[in-house]
């Protein structure tokens, strides 16, 4: 059986590979270069994307992935080189040319028309009509219902819902549906699972398996290694605008991919040190909320404690209680030996507690505001004189921490929503560093960011620990937990089921504690720890 769970087609004589049907298009880029003024985004890239195969396109932010995709879809014209479709040179003057040629891209940020239905969004530009002009709504509903059922999304989206009513996951599904209308030959997915639930992810993976079997060339862009090794036949790695290597997914591993992406081994990403002090910064005693029960936990200055657990274990809820966002029913929270009364997040901030939440876009950042505005958000009371914010001092603080964390931006006045995921996370961290917290809670600090940005976040965590900040890190990635933590506290069903020292912590030991009270729970991939 193939990765989608379906029976594979018979191997074709031309390739001997299941699903590699040459009826689909093969797109090739030869010596593609692209310059924007003095910036060389791509330099001499040669790659092919075979029919009936999933090619994972990987690289750090800025490696050239987006530029290459935009050349394939007609958004950019190459400075040098050419694109071949089925061996014939082809040039796209505009995205519509690429669409007519059967090339589709599903962008990371969906483009949805808010005031029309899902069905009309899917078939925008090719709506069925009767008597030449009148929209045939019955035929439109029939087509979209059939598409949803065929693709396995009929239970998760209403074709009559308005675009403005859709969740982020549903918006992503509309983009997928739109891309699959018509005669698609090449489909590129750009971080397609970033807002999908587990059920929706499984439906998407099954769909990609069917596309492969139909002979469609699939390009898959993701920072999530487990997705890559589950789906991909080949892994093409870009670094600094050039091809660093093309690997057979079945014959390589995560360490080799990372080495091609960043030029160093995965083990070097983590900065292991022992800088914890005797001073206890945070102490929880028998803390109980609506979601957690009887939690005891201590974190010392300079110590990195990781919270691990399966989905619904209560880790984010415990973080919310410590940060004053969720009410505590009983028990106590103390900072440096002083018992706290946390009525709201302001009380926690004043006590020296910071929280970088899991959903940085929805819960932490004002995406339409500048880096300066976002960085100074929790420090405004320190920057005020009488009732007015001292703008010069605010800018100086924002510039200091933007420089210190190496946020890649033209200026501190740049719109935060236009930054990459890794740089957005750095802005969240800059906000808290400017406040000089004693305890910093990081909930999924590297979710959705590339390997290079992860390495920089890990270094920031190490630097904070060295400066004496106590850190509570929640992560769904076991290698990250093991690489960062001095101590691992494992949760299940709202309780801490055990703690492991750095020497004791292994993937097996963590999973054993995470499933301690539910032996019927099926074995889960480390990435399922949430």
**Span 124-144, pLDDT tens digits:** 877 778 776 788 888 888 888
- Gap between the Cα atoms of 206 and 226, Å rounded: 15
Residue 509 has pLDDT above 50, yes or no: yes
- List pLDDT tens digits, range 316-348: 999 999 999 999 999 999 999 999 999 999 999
- If you average pLDDT over residues 422-440, what whole number do you get? 91
CB neighbours (10 Å) of residue 336?
Answer: 15
- Pairing state of beta strands 80-85 and 88-90? antiparallel
In the structure encoding, which two tokens stand for residue 168, read together?
Answer: 């982020």
The C-alpha atoms of residue 486 and residue 321 are separated, in whole angstroms, by: 23
Per residue in 361-394, pLDDT tens?
888 899 999 999 999 888 877 777 777 777 888 8
> What share of the chain in percent tops pLDDT 70?
91
Alpha-carbon distance of 21 to 33, in angstroms, equals 30
pLDDT at 329: 94
Q: Can you tell me whether residue 105 is helix, strand or coil? A: strand
Question: For 483, phi and psi rounded to 5 degrees?
Answer: -75, -30
Q: Who has greater pLDDT, 200 or 522?
A: 200
pLDDT exceeding 90 applies to what percent of the chain?
Answer: 40
**Average pLDDT score over residue span 259-265:** 76
Where would I find the beta strands (DSSP E) of 426-468? Answer: 439-443
**pLDDT (0 to 100) of residue 57:** 95
Q: Assess whether pLDDT exceeds 60 at residue 398.
A: yes
pLDDT at 95: 86
| Predicted confidence band of residue 17 (pLDDT cuts 50, 70, 90) | very low
pLDDT at 163 over 80: yes
Q: Nearest-CA neighbor of 409 among 448, 458, 370?
A: 370
Q: What is the DSSP letter of 165?
A: G
- Across the chain, what does the average pLDDT equal? 84
CA distance 453 to 270: 12
Cβ atoms 277, 461 nearer than 8 A: no
Q: Which residue has the higher pLDDT, 99 or 32?
A: 32
Report how far residue 218's alpha carbon sits from residue 211's, in angstroms, rounded to the nearest whole number: 8
Tally of CB atoms within 10 A around 325: 17
The dihedral through the CA atoms of 237, 238, 244, 246 has a sign that is positive
pLDDT tens for each residue of 46-68: 999 999 999 999 987 778 888 99
Residue 19 banded pLDDT, cuts 50, 70, 90: very low
Task: Find out whether 292 and 316 touch, Cβ atoms under 8 Å.
Answer: no
pLDDT at 118: 84
Strand ranges in 266-381 using DSSP code E only, listed in sequence order:
280-288, 295-300, 304-309, 330-335, 338-339, 353-356
pLDDT of amino acid 180: 78
DSSP-assigned letter for residue 348: H
Whether the predicted pLDDT of 115 surpasses 90: no
Instruction: Name which of 287, 438, 473, 461 is nearest 350 in CA terms.
Output: 438
Is the confidence at residue 519, as pLDDT, over 60?
no
**Distances in whole angstroms, Cα of residue 136 to Cα of each of 120, 126, 131, 139, 391:** 11, 11, 9, 5, 57
> What pLDDT was estimated at residue 522?
35
pLDDT tens-digit profile of 448-503? 777 777 888 898 999 999 999 999 999 988 888 999 999 999 999 999 999 999 99
Q: Is the confidence at residue 1, as pLDDT, over 50?
A: no
Sheet holding 295-300, edge to edge: 295-300, 280-288, 330-335, 338-339
How large is the angle between the packed helices 168-179 and 137-151, nearest 10 degrees?
100
The terminus-to-terminus CA distance of the chain in angstroms comes to 29
DSSP three-state, residue 451: helix
pLDDT score for 267: 62
Contact 24, 216 (CB under 8 A): yes
Given phi > 0 = left and psi -120 to 50 = alpha, else beta, which region is 514? alpha
pLDDT, residue 255, reads 83
CA-CA distances (angstroms) from residue 183 to 151, 189, 393, 408, 451? 15, 17, 57, 39, 35
The tokens describing 438, both together, are: 């004693």
Q: Give the tens place of pLDDT for each residue, 32-45.
A: 999 888 778 899 99
Q: What is the predicted pLDDT for the residue at 505? A: 92
| 3-class SS shares of the chain: helix, strand, coil, % to 5 | 35, 25, 40
Type and span of the H or E element at 471: strand 470-474
**Reported pTM:** 0.63
Mean pLDDT calculated for residue range 157-180: 81
Mean pLDDT of 87-111: 85
What pLDDT is recorded for position 268? Answer: 66
Residue 279 near residue 461 (C-beta atoms within 8 A): no
Contacts of 119 (CB under 8 A, 6+ apart): 140, 141, 143, 144, 159, 160
Q: Which domains does the chain have, with CATH numbers?
A: 27-111+175-263 (3.40.50.300), 113-165 (no CATH), 270-352+437-528 (3.40.50.300), 366-436 (no CATH)
Query: Where on the phi/psi map is residue 218: left (φ > 0), alpha (ψ -120 to 50), or beta?
Result: beta
- How many helices (H) does the chain have, and how many strands (E)? 17, 24
Token digits of residue 314: 């209560």
Give the residue among 228, 144, 244 at the shortest CA–CA distance from 189.
Answer: 228
Average pLDDT over residues 207-220: 90
The predicted structure's pLDDT at residue 14: 30
Structure tokens at 103: 């090339």
- 120: pLDDT strictly greater than 80: yes
Q: Strand 54-58 relative to strand 242-248: parallel, antiparallel, unpaired?
A: unpaired
């Amino acid at each position: 059986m193939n990765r989608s769970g379906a029976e594979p087609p018979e191997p074709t004589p031309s390739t001997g590979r299941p699903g590699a049907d040459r009826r689909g298009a093969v797109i090739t880029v030869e010596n593609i270069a692209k310059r924007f003024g003095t910036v060389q985004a791509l330099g001499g890239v040669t790659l092919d994307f075979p029919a009936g195969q999933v090619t994972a396109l990987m690289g750090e932010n800025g490696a050239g992935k987006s530029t290459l995709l935009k050349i394939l879809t007609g958004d950019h014209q190459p400075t040098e080189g050419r694109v071949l479709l089925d061996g014939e040179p082809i040039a796209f003057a505009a995205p519509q040319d690429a669409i007519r040629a059967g090339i589709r891209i599903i962008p990371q940020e969906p483009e949805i028309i808010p005031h029309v239905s899902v069905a009309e969004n899917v078939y925008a530009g090719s709506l069925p009509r009767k008597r030449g002009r009148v929209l045939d709504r019955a035929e439109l509903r029939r087509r979209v219902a059939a598409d949803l059922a065929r693709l396995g999304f009929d239970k998760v989206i209403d074709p009559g819902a308005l675009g403005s009513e859709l969740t982020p996951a549903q918006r992503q599904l509309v983009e997928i549906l739109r891309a699959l209308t018509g005669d698609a030959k090449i489909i590129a997915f750009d971080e397609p699972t970033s807002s999908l639930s587990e059920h929706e992810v499984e439906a998407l993976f099954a769909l990609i398996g069917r596309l492969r079997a139909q002979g469609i060339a699939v390009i898959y862009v993701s920072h999530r290694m487990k997705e890559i090794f589950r789906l991909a036949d080949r892994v093409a790695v870009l670094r600094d605008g050039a091809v660093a290597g093309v690997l057979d997914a079945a014959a390589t591993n995560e360490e080799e991919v990372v080495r091609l992406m960043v030029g160093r081994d995965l083990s070097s990403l983590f900065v292991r040190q022992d800088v914890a002090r005797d001073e206890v910064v945070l102490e929880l005693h028998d803390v109980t909320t609506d979601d957690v029960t009887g939690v005891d936990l201590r974190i010392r200055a300079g110590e990195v404690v990781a919270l691990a657990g399966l989905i619904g274990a209560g880790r984010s809820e415990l973080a919310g209680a410590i940060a004053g966002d969720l009410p505590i029913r009983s028990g106590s929270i103390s900072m440096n030996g002083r018992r706290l009364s946390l009525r709201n997040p302001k009380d926690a901030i004043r006590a020296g507690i910071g929280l970088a939440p899991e959903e940085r876009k929805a819960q932490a950042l004002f995406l339409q505001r500048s880096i300066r505005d976002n960085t100074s958000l929790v420090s405004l009371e320190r920057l005020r004189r009488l009732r007015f914010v001292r703008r010069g001092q605010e800018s100086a603080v924002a510039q200091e921490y933007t420089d210190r964390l190496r946020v890649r931006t033209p200026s501190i006045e740049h719109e935060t929503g236009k930054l990459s995921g890794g740089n957005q996370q750095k802005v969240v961290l800059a906000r808290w560093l400017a406040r000089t917290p004693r305890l910093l809670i990081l909930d999924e600090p590297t979710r959705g960011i590339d390997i290079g940005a992860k390495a920089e976040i890990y270094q920031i965590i190490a630097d904070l620990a060295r400066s004496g900040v106590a850190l509570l890190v929640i992560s769904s990635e076991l290698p990250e937990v093991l690489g960062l933590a001095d101590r691992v506290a494992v949760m299940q069903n709202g309780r801490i089921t055990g703690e492991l020292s750095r020497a004791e912590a292994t993937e097996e030991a963590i999973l054993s504690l995470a499933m301690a009270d539910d032996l019927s729970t099926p074995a889960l991939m480390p990435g399922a720890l949430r």
